[in-house]
Amino acid sequence: MSISCSRRVGGSAGRRVASFVAATILLAATARAQAAKPATAPEGPGKTLYVKWCSGCHGDGGAGDGYAASYMIPRPRDLTLGNFYIRSTKTGDVPTDADLRRTITDGFPGTAMSGWKTALSTAQIDTLVQYVKKFSPFFSGPAPTVLAAGPEPAPNSEGLVEGRRVYEQLKCFECHGQKGYGDGTSVPTLMDDQKMPIFSADLSKNWTFRGGPTVADIYRGFRTGLNGTPMPAYTAEANNVNDEQLWRLAQYVRSLAPAAPPDTSSMIHATMKMDGPLPATPDDKAWDEVPAHYVPLGGQVAIKPRWFTPSIDGVWVQAMYDMKKLALKLTWHDASRSPDTTFAPWIKKVVETLDHADPPPITAQGPDRIAITFPVKIAADSLRPFFLGGNSVRSAYVWRWSSSPDTAEEGTTRGLARFTPLAAKNGLGHSARYQDGEWQLQFTRALLPVDSTTAPTFGGDLPVPVAFFAADGSNGEIGMRGSMSGWYTIMIHMMGATQ
Amino acid sequence: MTASPARDPSSNRELSFQQPGTGSDPPVPLSGRAEETGEPRVFLWTVLTLLAVYASLRFVVPWISLWLGTSQIPVPVPRFAIGLYMLCAVIGALVYVNSDARRWRLFLGPVVRLFALPRERIRWPQAVVFGAIPLVIGALAWNRVMPSSQPPAQLRMQHPTMPQKYVSLENPFRKLPEAERQKAEAEGVILYQKNCRPCHGTSADGNGPLARGLRLRPVNFTDPGTIATVVEPYVFWRVKEGGIGLPAIGTPWESAMPAWSDLTDDEIWKVVMATYALAGKEPRKPEGASP
């Protein structure tokens, strides 16, 4: 009895008195489970598969303490707790086999838990589904009850307005921010059940949602909560929302992201400004007509110190030019305008979590930073400098910006860490805005440099190679720690320039 | 008139040096429409014949090889050959219509009528042709000036030749007794999951959490075209020297692969062995090795 009714306390159910009693028993049960944690993987079919593929992160005993665990955020799940992101069952119940199968098959985007459908057969995945249940006593209870989902109401504009109202009623902004960019006020203290730091989801990027990208997935997340994370379940009794309102909220959240994940081609098309001068600030209306290209970023791991847990996973790039100048606008989401003292506890947790991080240690919170790498000379051959600001083989031309103090400068680099400000300055202009968890940054430079041996000419007949580096100071990203992209090309179509 | 080379006025085959209206045939009025005068519509038939020739080259001839059984699929006629045949057809048609004075005038009739603008109104064929001319020129100019949306060609050799000093190296752990080899492989798996996994993925499929940000995608080791096609010291070289150690043909400036100077040679050999094991692949045997 004690196990079966106190198995799981999910979300807001704990507010009720009965749940308080249950929670007490749960704590005891959890403590017992942890004390009795087996040092080796339990016997049974699937053990070989588990040891080969899963134990590196989840640990031999399933406690989420594998040898690779301290290299990742979010940390691997402690399987002994029976907590899973994807669950279609009612609060307090364990996930169904189908939920576990989906978890293993599709994995979670952006985490170390990749989908296993390429590496394992369906039969192997089914074996693992049964095997992982051995780690947790919670699975030994009666079969879980699948939550009955109400029908989704047809989407319409009134529904989105209602969804926004529910967003405010349920205080979603406390974690996800007013615009849903993952910048709520509680972000610096967000932790998972294992007291490890966890980012709040950026609702404008549904392709990164752990629970799945569709309206139905989002709705399921509201009904069941994302177990193990601060995302609770929402119920009629505790939160005064009915089923249709949760569907409306799901439709609203889905509407914050583009209809399809952005195209990831290597070309950034620049727009020619035919009337009037180029805008001076990134919030100028003229930018609204320029297509934005999404450049996904990954942790900077090419050079030491390597950084496996970046907070910036992409930047939108726009380019505009006239007969004299080129302007680039970068837009990215960042929960903090660094340095931000409220993020001190976050950095502390990050450093603790990554106890194997490369030296030097992170001692102070730095500013937010951007570095844009170009070749020194744009030539027809395909030779380029290394995308992280060149290296000792071939130097690069770099624009770099820092949020505090708000400065930008151009220089020659032999790697981003070896920056020499340019002597023949080309009047690099910049303008930065921070609002609602979003940075907007514009650079402007003349197409023709003062000295073409130290800086590239833009708008000749050749596309402009460009690579990006971004750092969030409040995530401990100082020096070479940050996110990076490979080489992209800006297509500047100078009419007649090719003739 | 007596100097005219057209000695036999009744012949249709003579070359026509005569002035219009001097032959035996009645002059064809340039302004009259063929259907009104009951004359054959030479221009229309010429154009239709040429179109038929083109259509047969483009759509009928490819099927001949199928009927003949020499091919399982229709074999298209090369565009260059179509061009040559069409040139011959056009020349033949011009020779034919030009071989008779009357036919030549009938042929030219619609062309002349098209360009001879009447004063009272513009007929629709004229409007279409004269309207299309600037459009065609504009389209040609646009095509010429409009830059193509292709990214610049980046030639990259995926497997450039490895430096000589690596060629004869051997993985010291492969030769160990099976139990010890497995122990080394297990140590390699740990090194892999710590250091390689973020990009190359937990399941060695090149799909780690950081892979999305890399323009040059991390190698998918389970792809039969990657580590399965190279000898083991090749992989050792790639791990030890990283992307930056590639020759220019391998575009080292695009690769985020670090040079793993913080791993010892023994550790690299273990990682290499583990990578093959995780991917379920065998290294290629060195040439000259016994099978």
Q: What's the CATH number where A8 sits?
A: 1.10.760
Distance in angstroms (rounded) separating the CA atoms of residues B154 and B255 = 13
Q: For residue A89, give the DSSP letter.
A: B
Is residue A450 located within the same domain as residue A344? yes
The percentage of residues in chain A with a pLDDT greater than 70, rounded to a whole number, is 91
**Higher per-residue confidence, A163 vs A4:** A163
Chain A partners within 8 Å of B253 (Cβ): 383-387, 394, 487
8 A C-beta contact, residue A290 and residue A452:
no
**Alpha-carbon distances of A302 from A477, B163, B171, B219, rounded to whole Å:** 15, 22, 25, 15
pLDDT digits (tens, 9 = 90+) for A134-191: 999 889 888 898 988 889 999 999 999 999 999 999 999 999 999 999 999 999 999 9
Asked whether residue B275 is assigned to any structural domain, the reply reads yes
Chain B partners within 8 Å of A120 (Cβ): 203
Query: Which of the listed residues A81, A113, A140 is the one where a domain comes to its end?
Result: A140
Q: How many CA atoms lie within 13 A of B48 on its CB side?
A: 6
Asked whether residue A189 is assigned to any structural domain, the reply reads yes
Is residue A339 located within the same domain as residue A431? yes
DSSP letters spanning B186-239: HHHHHHIIIIIHHHH-TTSSS--TTGGG-SSPPP-TTSTTTGGGS-HHHHHHHH
Asked whether residue B259 is assigned to any structural domain, the reply reads yes
Asked whether residue A148 is assigned to any structural domain, the reply reads no
Top mean-pLDDT range of A394-408, B24-38, B103-117: A394-408
Report the gap between the CA of B233 and the closest CA in chain A (Å): 22
Report the gap between the CA of A445 and the closest CA in chain B (Å): 23
Query: Which residue range forms the structural domain that includes residue B89?
Result: 18-121
Distance in angstroms (rounded) separating the CA atoms of residues A368 and A365 = 10
Give A438's strand partners: A333, A435
Is residue A251 located within the same domain as residue A273? no
Span B76-84, average pLDDT: 89
Span B1-15, average pLDDT: 45
Asked whether residue A372 is assigned to any structural domain, the reply reads yes
Asked whether residue B3 is assigned to any structural domain, the reply reads no
**Residues contacting B68, CB < 8 A, separation 6+:** none
DSSP letters spanning B76-139: PPPHHHHHHHHHHHHHHHHHHHHTSHHHHHHHHHHHHHHHS--SS---HHHHHHHHHHHHHHHH
Is the Cβ of A137 closer than 8 Å to some Cβ of chain B? no
pLDDT digits (tens, 9 = 90+) for B85-138: 999 999 999 999 989 888 888 888 887 777 776 666 667 777 888 889 999 999
Is residue A65 located within the same domain as residue A93? yes
* Structural domain total, chain A: 3
Tally Cβ neighbours within 10 Å of residue A405: 6
Give φ, ψ of A87 to 5 degrees: -150, 130
Q: Which two tokens stand for residue A491?
A: 């297509």
pLDDT digits (tens, 9 = 90+) for A439-496: 999 999 999 999 999 999 998 778 899 999 999 999 999 999 999 999 999 988 765 4
Is residue A239 located within the same domain as residue A308? no
Asked whether residue B143 is assigned to any structural domain, the reply reads no
Asked whether residue A437 is assigned to any structural domain, the reply reads yes
Asked whether residue B286 is assigned to any structural domain, the reply reads no
**Residues contacting B139, CB < 8 A, separation 6+:** none
Residue B27 — very low, low, confident or very high, per pLDDT cuts 50/70/90?
low
**H helical segments located in A36-111:** 47-49, 55-58, 97-106
Distance in angstroms (rounded) separating the CA atoms of residues B203 and A117 = 10
Is residue A250 located within the same domain as residue A290? no
Asked whether residue A496 is assigned to any structural domain, the reply reads no
**C-alpha radius of gyration, chain A, whole number:** 25
Is residue A348 located within the same domain as residue A228? no
Is residue A222 located within the same domain as residue A296? no
Is residue A194 located within the same domain as residue A73? no
Q: What CATH number should be reported for the domain holding residue A277?
A: 2.60.40.1190
8 A C-beta contact, residue A282 and residue A440:
yes
Is the Cβ of A296 closer than 8 Å to some Cβ of chain B? yes
Q: How many CB pairs under 8 A join A and B?
A: 142
Is residue A127 located within the same domain as residue A205? no
Q: Which of B145, B149, B193 sits opposite A267 (nearest CB)?
A: B149
Q: For residue A311, give the DSSP letter.
A: S
Per-residue pLDDT at B10: 46
**Alpha-carbon distances of B102 from A489, B1, B13, B25, B138, rounded to whole Å:** 63, 18, 11, 7, 38
Is residue B256 located within the same domain as residue B183? yes
Per-residue pLDDT at B162: 92
Q: Is the pLDDT of residue B20 over 50?
A: no
Which range has the worst mean pLDDT, A151-160, A193-202, B143-152, B225-234?
B143-152
Query: Which of the listed residues A221, A255, A289 is the one where a domain comes to its end?
Result: A255
Is the Cβ of A67 closer than 8 Å to some Cβ of chain B? yes
* Structural domain total, chain B: 2
The dihedral over CA atoms of A87, A93, A94, A95, expressed in degrees to the nearest 10, equals -30
Span B33-45, average pLDDT: 71
Span A10-34, average pLDDT: 44
Query: Which of the listed residues B86, B121, B156 is the one where a domain comes to its end?
Result: B121
Cα nearest neighbour of B248 on chain A = A383
Is residue A387 located within the same domain as residue A426? yes
Q: Do B189 and A56 touch (CB under 8 A)?
A: yes
Q: Which two tokens stand for residue A117?
A: 């459908």
Asked whether residue B105 is assigned to any structural domain, the reply reads yes
Q: Do A301 and B244 touch (CB under 8 A)?
A: no
DSSP letters spanning A391-451: -SSSBEEEEEEEETTEEEEEEEESSTTSEEE-SS----EEEEEEETTEEEEEEEEESS-SS
The dihedral over CA atoms of A480, A354, A368, A291, expressed in degrees to the nearest 10, equals 90
Span A81-105, average pLDDT: 90
Q: What CATH number should be reported for the domain holding residue A167?
A: 1.10.760.10
Asked whether residue B158 is assigned to any structural domain, the reply reads no
Span B67-77, average pLDDT: 78
Is residue B105 located within the same domain as residue B178? no
Query: Which of the listed residues A230, A255, A280 is the one where a domain comes to its end?
Result: A255
Is residue B113 located within the same domain as residue B168? no
Is residue A415 located within the same domain as residue A394? yes
Closest CA to A176 of A116, A60, A256: A256
Per-residue pLDDT at B242: 93
Query: Which residue range forms the structural domain that includes residue A484?
Result: 267-491
Per-residue pLDDT at A355: 72
Asked whether residue B5 is assigned to any structural domain, the reply reads no
DSSP letters spanning B228-281: GGS-HHHHHHHHHHTGGGS-GGG-GGG--PPP-TTS-HHHHHHHHHHHHHHHT-
**Helix (H) or strand (E) segment spanning residue A298:** strand A298-299
Tally Cβ neighbours within 10 Å of residue A428: 18
Is residue B168 located within the same domain as residue B69? no
Is the Cβ of A355 closer than 8 Å to some Cβ of chain B? no
Q: What CATH number should be reported for the domain holding residue B227?
A: 1.10.760
Asked whether residue A151 is assigned to any structural domain, the reply reads no
Q: Is the pLDDT of residue A286 over 80?
A: yes
DSSP letters spanning A13-43: GGGSHHHHHHHHHHHHHHHHHHHT--SSPPP
Q: Do B244 and A394 touch (CB under 8 A)?
A: no
Strands (E), A176-248: none
